[in-house]
């Protein structure tokens, strides 16, 4: 990815960030470690559960989406981390074999009032499966340095 700075994150900028394939083995492994509910870890019980089969933990989906965001949206030249999310929504189950496509849109960009060498970027992240179903949205806030150094 090309180096990007605050000035490059213009409001309205929309990009496809990447794709992630969710495998049953990864879904079960993640859930066994972090979210061991039957519909995430036990195929037999999940078949008779609320989703009719294994589904990914929402936390797994969020974690899987983070890698493409780091690789293709948050520039290593300017990223200063994040104070958090404004919103995270899991809208539809993510199943083994789903191919998730991640889109990012800059919704707000403002220079920091206290630290003029950096900016605050608000984004809308939308994640769809291979059928175009919106499965997750999140609204992160990121801090990035300014190319002009605050001049």
Q: What is the pLDDT of residues 130-141, one digit of tens each?
A: 999 999 999 999
By C-alpha distance, which of 115, 114, 136, 117 is closest to 125?
A: 136
Domain of 105 in residue numbering reads as: 6-23+66-145
Q: Is residue 150 part of a domain?
A: no
What are the phi and psi torsion angles at 145 (to 5°)? -80, 155
pLDDT tens per residue, range 48-76: 999 999 999 999 999 999 999 999 999 99
CATH number for the domain spanning 92: value is 3.10.129.10
> Has residue 32 been placed in a domain?
no
In a domain, 87, yes or no: yes
Is the pTM for the entire model greater than 0.75?
A: yes
- The CA distance from 52 to 114, in Å, is 51
Domains in the chain, number: 1
Looking at the domain assignment, is residue 19 inside a domain? yes
Asked if residue 49 belongs to a domain, the reply is: no
Q: Is the pLDDT reported for residue 94 higher than 90?
A: yes
**pLDDT of 67:** 96
Structural domain includes residue 72: yes
E strand map for the chain: 14-21, 84-90, 99-111, 118-128, 134-145
Flag whether 93 is in a domain. Answer: yes
């Amino acid at each position: 990815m090309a180096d990007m700075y605050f000035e490059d994150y213009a409001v309205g900028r929309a990009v496809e960030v990447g794709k992630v394939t969710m495998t049953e083995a990864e879904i079960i492994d993640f859930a066994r470690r972090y979210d061991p509910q039957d519909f995430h870890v036990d195929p037999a019980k999940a078949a008779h559960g609320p989703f009719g089969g294994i589904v990914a933990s929402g936390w797994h989906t969020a974690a899987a989406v983070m890698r493409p965001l780091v690789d293709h949206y948050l520039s290593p030249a300017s990223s200063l981390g994040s104070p958090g999310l404004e919103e995270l929504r899991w809208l539809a189950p993510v199943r083994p074999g789903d191919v998730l496509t991640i889109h990012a849109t800059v919704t707000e960009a403002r220079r920091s009032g206290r630290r003029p060498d950096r900016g605050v970027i608000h984004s809308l992240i939308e994640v769809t499966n291979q059928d175009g179903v919106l499965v997750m949205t999140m609204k992160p806030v990121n801090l990035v340095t300014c190319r002009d150094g605050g001049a």
